[in-house]
Amino acid sequence: MQIETKCLHEGYERKNGDPGALPIIQSTTYVFDSTQHIADLFNMPTECMYSRFANPTVDAVEKKIAALEGGVGAMCTTSGQAASLLSVLNLCRAGDSILAVSSLYGGTINLFAISLKKLGIECIFVDPEADGDALEAAIKPNTRLVFGETLANPALNVFDIERFAAFAHKHKIPLIVDNTFPTPILCRPFEFGADIVVHSTTKYMDGHALQGGGVIVDSGNFDWANGNFPEFTEPDESYHGVVYTREFGNMAYIIKARMQLMRDFGCYPAAHSAFLLNIGLETLAVRMERYCKNALAVAEFLDCSDDVERVSYPGLPSDPYYERAKKYLPNGCSGVISFDIKGGRDRATRFMDALKLASREVHVADIRTCVLHPASMTHRQLNDEQLAAAGIDAGMIRLSVGLENVSDIIDDIKQAFDASR
Ligand SMILES: *Cc1c(COP(=O)(O)O)cnc(C)c1O
């Protein structure tokens, strides 16, 4: 099946007489004929037992997302943050470190730099364009993973997945990629060597600004038995001595995430949330195509505007990431544009307040056009140095182009430029 078809047909298998739409299985629990059947499920979790870590509606969505990314399995979470957190905790414990590029979503930087530190896990940040020597210098014997973001929110630099995958694999550790902005429609990081993908499904996947969520997807390609990950090859005392690599083969990572972390932490979405997410996924391919088309037109307009200092959109030939985007994002660069307005921070807020169609909101990848000022909102906690490392100027505006007619979007921007001068 091609990816457009997968959006509609993967995940939920309809048998004779089944509902046409994915049913919402609203139940905390599931009943079985025998004690032995349940005991067997503890050995091999092939059916749902309890909705803190598995539910049939969510399961169908997990299967669909795994198919879209080309992975062996997926696990949904209640937010993108929870997905990033669990993707790391599945590999790290106090005393370990991780290596992440500095151009990440602000919430991820917080999580890695501050909250993980409180748990005893150190994050070493590197410049995404750092040369090989600088990368080697940043790696430590206790580094358990490398983390990057395909298309960084909001700096919009394109992450060189292949280079970082080779670097991680040389050190026998996996590469985790946050693929939220491109979605699997525009980029499938596993095809370039990434091992684990995470998403905030709150964004394009949900697509209608209805509900938050996240997902972790396992490529099934990483060798967890390479000696670096004893938690995968030694008995888990919390799970009747299961050895993940032996029992679950190339599903070891995603099953461990569910049967150990989700079981213990319980940040699992409700069936109804998964139902809504599935509706978003059904039209994802069609919507991404239009987001890309609209955003490119708006980026071209901004690029020619006298009110703009600089535009970041890797689909523009003048963008420093244009060539790399041709490799990783050949079908479009998604719907988000960052630009620095002439006049700095003050003009940026005047411009934002003057918009009539585009809304001011703490969101991105909404179905409607929306704007946000990272320096005073999502990245408020970062100092100027961290802002610069994340590629953010005080006058930067993050414009999330929606699915309106593009001429209406451009007209709104024009009138707000005039009003803010
Ligand atoms: C929004 C976002 C997240 C966090 O997702 P939530 O669903 O808000 O928790 C993580 N990564 C990226 C790239 C994001 O845009």
Atom of ligand 1 nearest to the CA of 180: 13
Q: Is 198 within the bounds of a domain?
A: yes
Q: Domain end: 220, 245, 279, which one?
A: 279
Sheet strands (E) in 344-385:
359-360, 370-372
Report pLDDT for 387.
78
Atom of ligand 1 nearest to the CA of 364: 15
Amino acid identity, position 251: M
- Ligand 1 pocket test target in 76, 111, 151, 180 with most atoms within 8 Å of CB: 180
Amino acid identity, position 108: T
Q: Is 24 within the bounds of a domain?
A: yes
Residue minimizing CA distance to atom 1 of ligand 1: 200
Q: Is 3 within the bounds of a domain?
A: no
Q: Is 190 within the bounds of a domain?
A: yes
Q: Average pLDDT per run of 10 along the chain, which is 421 residues long?
A: 97 95 96 95 90 97 98 98 98 98 92 98 97 97 98 93 98 98 98 98 96 97 97 95 96 97 97 98 98 98 96 97 98 96 91 97 93 87 77 88 98 98 91
- Is residue 187 located within the same domain as residue 56? yes
- Is ligand 1 within 6 A of the CB of residue 214? yes
Q: Is residue 79 left, alpha or beta, with left meaning phi > 0 and alpha meaning psi from -120 to 50? A: beta
Q: Measured in angstroms, how far is the CA atom of residue 38 from the centroid of ligand 1? A: 36
Instruction: Give the domain extent around 385.
Output: 286-420
- Is residue 61 located within the same domain as residue 22? yes
User: Helices 271-282 and 56-69: crossing angle, nearest 10°?
Assistant: 30
Distance CA 217, CA 211 (A): 20
Amino acid identity, position 57: T
pTM: 0.96
pLDDT, tens digit, 9 for 90 and up, residues 18-49: 999 999 999 999 999 999 999 999 888 899 99
Q: Measured in angstroms, how far is the CA atom of residue 227 from the centroid of ligand 1? A: 32
- Ligand 1 pocket test target in 87, 112, 153, 379 with most atoms within 8 Å of CB: 153
Report pLDDT for 376.
85
- Is residue 165 located within the same domain as residue 249? yes
Q: Measured in angstroms, how far is the CA atom of residue 34 from the centroid of ligand 1? A: 42
Q: Is 99 within the bounds of a domain?
A: yes
Radius of gyration of the chain (CA): 22
Distance CA 139, CA 124 (A): 8
What CATH number does residue 413 fall under?
3.90.1150.10
User: Within its chain, how far is the Cα of 189 from the centroid?
Assistant: 11
Distance CA 189, CA 178 (A): 9
- Is residue 29 located within the same domain as residue 91? yes
CA atoms within 13 A on the CB side of 200: 24
- Is residue 262 located within the same domain as residue 366? no
Q: Measured in angstroms, how far is the CA atom of residue 247 from the centroid of ligand 1? A: 32
Q: What are the b/e assignments for 193-203, b being 16+ CB within 10 Å?
A: bbbbbbbbbbb
- Is residue 46 located within the same domain as residue 176? yes
- For CA atoms 5, 216, 62, 172, the dihedral sign is positive
Q: Is 5 within the bounds of a domain?
A: no
- Is residue 350 located within the same domain as residue 318? yes
Residue minimizing CA distance to atom 8 of ligand 1: 80
Give 18's contacts (C-beta < 8 A, 6+ positions apart). none
Q: Is 301 within the bounds of a domain?
A: yes
Is residue 255 within 8 A of residue 45, CB to CB? The reply is yes
Q: Domain end: 249, 264, 279, which one?
A: 279
Distance CA 160, CA 176 (A): 12
- Is ligand 1 within 6 A of the CB of residue 398? no
Atom of ligand 1 nearest to the CA of 82: 9
Report pLDDT for 59.
98
What CATH number does residue 269 fall under?
3.40.640.10
Q: Domain end: 244, 279, 314, which one?
A: 279
Is residue 384 within 8 A of residue 96, CB to CB? The reply is no
Give 291's contacts (C-beta < 8 A, 6+ positions apart). 204, 332, 334, 335, 365, 401, 402, 403
- Is residue 253 located within the same domain as residue 331? no
- Is residue 221 located within the same domain as residue 302? no
Q: What are the b/e assignments for 11-40, b being 16+ CB within 10 Å?
A: bbeeeeeeeeebebbeeeebeeeeeeeeee
Amino acid identity, position 243: V
- Is residue 260 located within the same domain as residue 307? no
Residue minimizing CA distance to atom 5 of ligand 1: 80
Report pLDDT for 344.
86
- Is residue 26 located within the same domain as residue 111? yes
Q: How many domains does one find in the chain?
A: 2
- Is residue 269 located within the same domain as residue 297? no
Atom of ligand 1 nearest to the CA of 365: 15
Tokens of 192: 């370039």
- Is ligand 1 within 6 A of the CB of residue 105? yes
Tokens of 120: 């005893």
- Is ligand 1 within 6 A of the CB of residue 378? no
- Is ligand 1 within 6 A of the CB of residue 103? no
- Is ligand 1 within 6 A of the CB of residue 178? yes
Q: Measured in angstroms, how far is the CA atom of residue 153 from the centroid of ligand 1? A: 9
Q: Is 346 within the bounds of a domain?
A: yes
